Structure 1
Amino acid sequence: MTPQMRHRLVHAGWLAAALAALGGVFVLYVHPDFLVTLVDQVWSCF
């Protein structure tokens, strides 16, 4: 594998991770009740 191909694969990986994070945030904004339930469950541990 050439260094240029490796460089492109690294950039593609970072791009995929960023898009997945943005998609996750979007899903949480669309379904805020899920986030409230999750926070309530975490808070009940304390």
Structure 2
Amino acid sequence: MTSEYKDMNRKLILENDSLLSVNLQLINAAVHPKNRDQSVAEETFR
């Protein structure tokens, strides 16, 4: 059971890291409109 929890935890950590990465891209796009990541924010908020 413990190893299952460890595996689940690892998956959640990886998922969280990728969501944080997307959030940072969106923040960059919002703060710097001429940033190359602007298209990411535009696509997301459409």
Q: TM-score, normalised by structure 1?
A: 0.65
Partner in structure 1 of residue 28 of structure 2: 27
Aligned residue pair count: 37
Q: Which has the larger radius of gyration?
A: 1
Q: Distance between the aligned counterparts of 1:26 and 1:7, measured in 2?
A: 28
Q: CA RMSD in A?
A: 2.3
2:17 aligned residue: 16
The structure with the greater share of residues assigned to helix is 1
Would you identify which runs of 4 or more consecutive aligned residues in structure 1 move more than 3 Å?
A: none
TM-score normalised to structure 2 length: 0.65
Larger RCO of the pair (alpha carbons < 8 Å, separation 6+): 2
Identical counterparts, % of pairs:
11
